Amino acid sequence: MSQRSFVSSGSQWENQYGYARAVLCTGHIFVSGTTSITPTGEVIGPNDAYLQARQIFQLIDQQLRRLGSSLSDVVRTRMYVTDIHAHADAVGRAHAEVFESIRPASTMIGVVALIQPELLVEIEVDAIPSISQDLSPHQTEHSPN
């Protein structure tokens, strides 16, 4: 049986809806969809997709660090964006600033709405702790044939 650990951010929805902010299981970390809401309910960067995404990546990094990891260990990101045609570039720019050298697999998905109307972005990530230290110095980029 595998050992499982989780952390909470104190969000009202975690207890209400029965989930954890992040779960560590079998050497992988799964961070739940994260928005730019503070524990007091304030939205950071209301109606600004770039500021929301930057705040979200900071919050995700905090949760990863609580489980012994960091953004450098992220292998997959999923970004849920309202009005994707208006906000994709802003969210993508924030993602590139954080992950330019890390290059996780990534998906950006347009959604109709998030849990509060002023929220424009929700992001979840998967990480493998210590992967950043296990990388070979002989990495090369591969192009599809």
Per-state percent for the chain, helix, strand, coil, to nearest 5: 30, 30, 40
Per-residue pLDDT reduced to its tens digit, 80-122: 999 999 999 999 999 999 999 999 999 999 999 999 999 999 9
Write down the pLDDT at residue 132.
55
Contact by Cβ (8 Å): 102, 74: yes
Between 139 and 116, name the one with better pLDDT.
116
Q: Would you kindly state where each structural domain of the chain is located, as residue ranges?
A: 4-127
Write down the pLDDT at residue 61.
97
Tell me which range, 18-27, 109-118, 134-143, is most confidently predicted by mean pLDDT: 109-118
Write down the pLDDT at residue 139.
41
Buried (b) or exposed (e) across 64-90, using 16+ Cβ within 10 A? Answer: bebbebbbbbbbebbbbbbebeebeeb
Task: List phi, psi (to 5°) of 94.
Answer: -60, -40
Residues 46, 36: Cα–Cα separation, whole Å: 9
Write down the pLDDT at residue 64.
96
Report pTM.
Answer: 0.86
Secondary structure of 27-93 in HEC code, one letter for each residue: CEEEEEEECCECCCCCECCCCCHHHHHHHHHHHHHHHHHHCCCCHHHEEEEEEEEECHHHHHHHHHH
CATH superfamily of 4-127: RutC-like (3.30.1330.40)
Whose tokens are 């975690």? That residue is: 14
pLDDT bucket at 141, cuts 50 / 70 / 90: very low
Write down the pLDDT at residue 136.
38
Per-residue pLDDT reduced to its tens digit, 40-88: 889 999 999 999 999 999 999 999 999 999 999 999 999 999 999 999 9
Q: Give the single-character DSSP code of 111.
A: E
